[in-house]
Structure 1
């Protein structure tokens, strides 16, 4: 039995529980939405979903710490569940089906498990350390995924966040020039860019400002699919406040292109 088999099964149980909360609230006419102090949106579904996750983890993993987007951190110890109840809240409140629940388990400083559940798309992706990356509706109905073999930027498909976000980071010009060098550029958004990368449909995904809960679940999926996930400085993992993910073959080229000096 794989080392994280029980944790991975629990992650699917958590995703099932959250789906029963989020899907009835998606496109609900009485959805309550407000702006948080950082001007990002939060809905009643975000908070209820995280409460469901925390309650289930409190019963099944009482010794583990929990870190989420909507409520204060709880617990101590090396094992930490990192949760984003609805990644893509702006899409959720506008009726766009590209949103997902992100569930990650970090042991020390290593993301060892990640699950992305996008019920409005009818898709899930998951991975645990050493198990490969998978997509499907359940563990028993899944196919393994892997990144592309594209080696040239001229043949690469890149998915990035908004131009304004890159301008705020001081890297707008390098990003625009990188996009011009690529075969195709799109902004699939949030988690979806990285899942498409893990499937081999996209070769580069990058965002200039992200929180740990935005990234932690993505890292095991991208890396177990054969890709690489770093911050803009090239440090592996989800702790740098921003993200560059590639099929590994293009990673150094992309990092070099996105340095401020490249502008």
Structure 2
């Protein structure tokens, strides 16, 4: 099992990966009307989470917050070590670009935004995987899929790009390892929030807000007492499930649209009991699945199918899962 020293960010790896992308930012501009603020969000105020966390991860000689007391399955210890180092490199890049005046933004064919930060983070993580795990394949949101294999790394470089663009601090890098189609490792790193979550199959789930702490879902067993989080209503509408969502909201105690990775991490922490989304890709889900499940929860598609392959997600504390499926399943 890895120790704190074992999981200290690899100085050479982080420096090498961040150095690969520095020149990519030259002469790129983000249209003025799209920026969250030339001097940062809220008139130049730097979020407290950023000041606390980014200072740790951008100095590769220091421990990352997740490395102080790392835990996980010995079977996946080396892969977890690598994933955490890659998350450190990703955080160093993304925090530097967050609300930067020269951030470049473009639209992908599906009309969703992509920034030079998304692309740089994915290139850095891919470079690390190619160097450290040359036999593995890679699937990233921005540059696509190498093809399925026994071991495949699935990455969302910035989950919550729209938030990233607007100065909303709820965004994260998602890194997962999928073996024979099953996510066995997940790391979710949200540097502006000062938070990181991770899990390995059979090794438990942990977060780093105040040192290393194990995650555990809630014990809420009655849907009438449950807290529900969901994504945009348009995704439920487009999937033909808006009526089911509205039905579900009438059965629970509380609803909030936290969205993105945040909904699932709140389920894993026991702060939210049910989270559901449509309009998803494997890179949106693969990293969060082991975290939710190792915290004692259940994860499936909205129709009860396992894995990140079916375009929708339902995460619960486990006790409520069958009941929620009975409401939202097609």
TM bucket normalised to smaller: over 0.9
**Tell me, what secondary structure is at the counterpart of 2:93?**
helix
User: Structure 1 residue 168: deviation in Å?
Assistant: 1.0
Tell me the number of residue pairs that the alignment of Structure 1 and Structure 2 aligns: 258
Q: Is the 8 A contact 1:229 1:238 kept in 2?
A: no
Q: Is the 8 A contact 1:63 1:75 kept in 2?
A: no
Aligned partner of 1:68 in structure 2 is: 140
User: Structure 1 residue 30: deviation in Å?
Assistant: 1.3
Counterparts in 2 of 1:92-171, with a 5 A limit?
A: 92-136=164-208, 141-171=211-241
- In structure 2, list runs of 5 or more residues that go unmatched: 2-73
Aligned partner of 1:195 in structure 2 is: 265
Aligned partner of 2:109 in structure 1 is: 37
User: Structure 1 residue 163: deviation in Å?
Assistant: 1.4
CA deviation profile, 1:26-79 (whole Å, cap 9, x unmatched): 011111111110011100100010000011111111111111001132366300
Between the aligned partners of 1:17 and 1:177, the Cα distance in structure 2 is: 43
Structure 1 runs (4+) greater than 3 angstroms displaced: none
Aligned partner of 1:179 in structure 2 is: 249
Between the aligned partners of 1:156 and 1:137, the Cα distance in structure 2 is: 24
**Tell me, what secondary structure is at the counterpart of 1:206?**
strand
User: Structure 1 residue 137: deviation in Å?
Assistant: 6.0
Between the aligned partners of 1:105 and 1:181, the Cα distance in structure 2 is: 36
**Tell me, what secondary structure is at the counterpart of 2:296?**
coil
User: TM-score scaled to structure 2, two decimals?
Assistant: 0.76
- In structure 1, list runs of 5 or more residues that go unmatched: none
Structure-2 change in CA distance of 1:3 and 1:35 (3 Å): same
**Tell me, what secondary structure is at the counterpart of 1:127?**
strand
**Tell me, what secondary structure is at the counterpart of 2:154?**
strand
Name whichever structure is richer in strand by fraction.
Answer: 1
**CA RMSD, aligned part only?**
1.2
